[in-house]
């Protein structure tokens, strides 16, 4: 299925891959898969702080986009 959905714990490996790609391209960051996984898990398990959304096909290696949105913004917008 293609669409926009909330990321779940099962999505952490793929989200981690995307963060590693992003951090590799930026001189100010160094990829750290262990810390990234820990941070992703914290965000996903604590939706009051922020949520991750993904767009793409779950389970496939097709391109994904991720977005972290502070939940205060979600509450304010309805």
Q: Each residue of 69-78: pLDDT tens digit?
A: 665 554 454 4
Whole-structure pTM value: 0.67
What does the mean pLDDT of the chain come to? 74
Outline where DSSP puts E strands in the chain: 2-6, 50-57, 65-70
Q: Are 37 and 60 within 8 A, CB to CB?
A: no
pLDDT the model gives residue 78: 46
Average pLDDT over residues 51-65: 59
Query: What is the phi/psi pair of residue 35, to 5°?
Result: -65, -40
d(CA 14, CA 61): 8
pLDDT greater than 70 at residue 40: yes
pLDDT the model gives residue 36: 93
20 vs 62 pLDDT, higher one: 20
């Amino acid at each position: 299925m293609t669409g926009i959905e909330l990321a779940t714990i099962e999505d952490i490996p793929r989200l981690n891959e995307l963060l590693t790609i992003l951090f590799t391209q930026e001189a100010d960051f160094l990829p750290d898969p262990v810390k990234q996984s820990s941070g992703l898990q914290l965000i996903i398990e604590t939706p009051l702080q922020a949520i991750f959304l993904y767009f793409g096909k779950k389970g496939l290696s097709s391109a994904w986009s991720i977005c972290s949105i502070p939940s205060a913004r979600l509450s304010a917008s309805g």
